[in-house]
C-alpha cells in the first residue's frame, strides 16, 4: 500500500512539473486507483471489521468495485460533466489495477514479502 501511495504522489508531482510522459500522465491514475481503494478497504476490514490480518477480500468485491468505477467514470460522469471524457482505454487500466491488487496485494499478512522496505532485514 505504501508503494502505491508513493507512486501516486510521485506521478502527481512529475505531472505538475511536466516531467512525465503523456501516456504515463494519462493512465497512471487509472492503474493505481483500484489498488489504492481496494487496499484501503482491505486495511479497514483487517483492522476494524474482521480484526484478522489473514483476511483477504473476495475477488467479487474487487470486480464489483471495477464495475462501479467503470460505470461511473466512463459512463455516467462524462454525461453529467462537460470536462469529463469517456476513454475506453481507462477500462483496461482499471482492469490492470484490479489484477495488481488481486495478485500482489490481496494476500494474508504473513505471506506478504516486505524485504524491500527500509529497515527490514
Mean pLDDT (the chain, rounded): 82
Compute CA 45 distance to the chain's CA centroid, rounded to the nearest angstrom: 16
Which pTM does this prediction carry? 0.76
- Give me the sign of the Cα torsion angle 32, 38, 42, 44: positive
Mean pLDDT of all residues in 59-65: 97
Query: For residues 5 and 35, is the Cβ–Cβ distance under 8 A?
Result: no
- Give me the sign of the Cα torsion angle 110, 112, 115, 117: negative
Mean pLDDT of all residues in 48-68: 93
pLDDT of residue 42: 94
Please give the grid coordinates belonging to residue 42: 482491505
Amino acid at each position: 500500500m505504501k508503494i502505491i501511495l508513493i507512486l501516486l504522489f510521485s506521478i502527481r508531482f512529475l505531472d505538475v512539473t511536466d516531467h512525465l510522459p503523456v501516456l504515463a500522465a494519462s493512465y497512471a491514475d487509472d492503474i493505481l486507483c483500484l489498488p489504492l481503494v481496494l487496499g484501503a478497504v482491505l486495511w479497514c476490514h483487517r483492522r476494524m471489521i474482521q480484526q484478522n490480518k489473514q483476511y483477504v477480500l473476495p475477488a467479487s468485491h474487487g470486480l464489483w468495485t471495477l464495475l462501479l468505477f467503470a460505470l461511473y467514470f466512463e459512463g455516467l460522469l462524462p454525461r453529467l460533466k462537460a470536462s469529463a471524457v469517456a476513454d475506453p482505454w481507462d477500462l483496461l487500466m482499471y482492469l490492470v489495477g484490479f489484477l495488481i491488487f488481486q495478485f500482489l496485494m490481496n494476500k494474508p499478512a504473513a505471506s506478504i514479502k516486505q524485504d524491500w522496505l527500509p529497515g527490514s532485514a
